[in-house]
Structure 1
């Protein structure tokens, strides 16, 4: 009962001062909006991956954030991420990063992924990293033939 009375009292006070909850929320959301160009975005993530003191958690966090966005990272960001994996001595993370990038290509994987591999091939060779296809990860190891193929 006390909670209900306090809630009604707060609504009366807000109404008397002219404070609208929705207007306050909109003002906060609009004030935190930043305008960052694509070049600034790329430079920010490239610099983040190029830090010498980056640890495994930070690398995974940045990679997860990038893969969670509705975009395919630029090849220079992918190269910086692969070099960070090499500094961390984490080959598995590099392979998962490549798998995630291929997955983020979506329905355009036939056009975007070959371009990406072409652009990052020198770095892959330099670091000794193979693509998921070269490792055979694109084919399941113990998959059975479909009943329609028998």
Structure 2
């Protein structure tokens, strides 16, 4: 089954890889609305390849530029799910750490858990 990659580029082909990365870097560098950011993220994470670290950097920068901190955190979650091995994710994090610190982006697991608060709406009258 042939894959339909954007503009006929196939990132699994060495000749197309650089052009494919350049296309998505350009997309994230230029996007000026959340819809375009989310569309690009959906596309790169739906492909059969793990996005390059440069594409991830630009996606996180775009998230912060558009003031969507939660999306930046979700990029890391999507990346963690996408990589085949934990060691590869750790390599991404090591490379991205200065950027993440600069932009104030954290992994979701470092944020802790959030328990819903339920209000007692009745009073026991015994």
| TM more than 0.5 | yes
How large is the RMSD of aligned CA atoms in angstroms?
A: 1.8
Give the structure 2 partner of residue 70 of structure 1: 48
Q: Structure 1: which 5+ residue stretches go unaligned?
A: 1-32, 143-150
| 1:116-140 alpha-carbon deviations (Å, 9 max, x no partner) | 101111110110111223223xxx6
Q: State yes or no: 1:90 paired with 2:68.
A: yes
Instruction: Tell which structure's C-alpha radius of gyration is larger.
Output: 1
The number of residue pairs the alignment matches comes to 104
TM-score if structure 2 supplies the norm length?
A: 0.75
Cα shift at 1:105? 1.1
TM-score if structure 1 supplies the norm length?
A: 0.64
Q: Structure 2: which 5+ residue stretches go unaligned?
A: 1-6, 11-15, 116-126
- Whole-Å separation in 1 of the counterparts to 2:108 and 2:42: 18
Which structure 2 residues correspond to residues 1-150 of structure 1 after superposition, within 5 A?
A: 34-35=8-9, 37-51=16-30, 53-106=31-84, 108=85, 110-136=86-112
- Whole-Å separation in 1 of the counterparts to 2:64 and 2:8: 33
- Whole-Å separation in 2 of the counterparts to 1:81 and 1:135: 21
